[in-house]
Amino acid sequence: MDVTHIAAPKKRELPPLMTLTDVAAARLRQLYARGEEGKLLRISVGTKGCSGMSYEMSWVEEPSPTDEIVKSQDLTVLVDRKATLFLIGTVMDYREDKLTRGFTFENPNEKGRCGCGESFHV
């Protein structure tokens, strides 16, 4: 009797849920040192704007049971579990120019953004 063994398909490695650039990590460290020490940054996705979704950030005292814990650049960032499918592979950066400054998100899942950049869709 000839028995054929079929190997299980190899699982594809998923990209990290989210990573921080050096500049974003430096800015977060500044914010922690200036009054947010002991808190954690939570990132979520809400409905807003003309494209339908927007990034939301808030400071929290501790993770909730529905938070994913992301470690990047020796920092901890929380991601609301409801946002994880929208954020897989996202890189969080911090940019300053003449008119604006703030955190930005380079999200490979985005299919488009509204003209003002306030919202996106996947």
Q: What is the DSSP letter of 32?
A: I
Output the pLDDT for position 8. Answer: 72
Question: Where are the alpha helices (H) located in 1-122, listed in sequence order?
Answer: 22-31, 84-87
**38-63 b/e with 16+ CB inside 10 Å = b?**
eebbbbbbeeebebebbbeeeeeeee
Q: Which domains does the chain have, with CATH numbers?
A: 18-110 (2.60.300.12)
Q: Check residue 117 and give its pLDDT.
A: 57
pLDDT bracket for residue 52 (50, 70, 90): confident
Q: Reply yes or no on whether the pLDDT at 105 is more than 60.
A: yes
Integer Cα distance of 47 and 4 in angstroms: 52
Indicate if the pLDDT at residue 29 is higher than 80: yes
How far apart are alpha carbons 107 and 105 in whole angstroms?
6
pLDDT number for residue 58: 94
